[in-house]
Amino acid sequence: MQIGALGDIVFQVSAETVETLDKVTWSGAARYAKQDRHLKDSLTEFTGLEPDEISFEMLLSAYLGVDPYPELVKIWQYERNGKALTLVIGERTYGKWRWVIEKHSIKMQNFGKGGALMSATVSVNLLEYLKS
């Protein structure tokens, strides 16, 4: 059963495959300018919003039916090409438009015969990407 997707990376759970999100954090921030005034209190002015950010972890494991390396290649390509992606979890599309992968981190955990990567936990940081 598909539970979501980031571009072509499908989050799913079935009897054969488990590839899901964990530790999802969505954050945002306002932007303010401070104007100093001589012998008076400073003025604070709202100047807009910073792009939202979403971070999450995924366990990619051959033991759970997922070949980790092809999924990692997708993440690398999306990040290095600046590809704007739709993020869907359940029936909800997140964000105002799309997301780019700002950075990732991979903890390679198990290796099999010939050094094949068997499992890894990947942390992904997304940055909101709006139409110009």
Q: Please give the mean pLDDT across all residues of the chain.
A: 95
The residue-averaged pLDDT of 49-61 equals 96
pLDDT in tens, 3-42: 999 999 999 999 888 999 999 999 999 999 999 999 999 9
Cα–Cα distances in Å, from 58 out to 36, 38, 53, 97, 106?
A: 46, 52, 17, 23, 10
User: What's the maximum distance between 2 C-alpha atoms anywhere in the chain?
Assistant: 72
Using 50, 70 and 90 to split pLDDT, how confident is the model at 1?
A: confident
Share of the chain above pLDDT 90, in %: 94
The residue range of the domain holding 77 is 2-129
Per the structure, the count of domains in the chain is 1
Could you tell me which residues come within 8 angstroms of residue 82 by beta carbon, excluding any fewer than 6 positions away? 100
- Can you give the CATH number for the domain in which 62 is found? 2.30.110
- Which pLDDT score, from 0 to 100, does residue 15 have? 87
How confident is residue 132, by pLDDT bands cut at 50, 70 and 90? Answer: confident
**Whole-prediction pTM:** 0.88
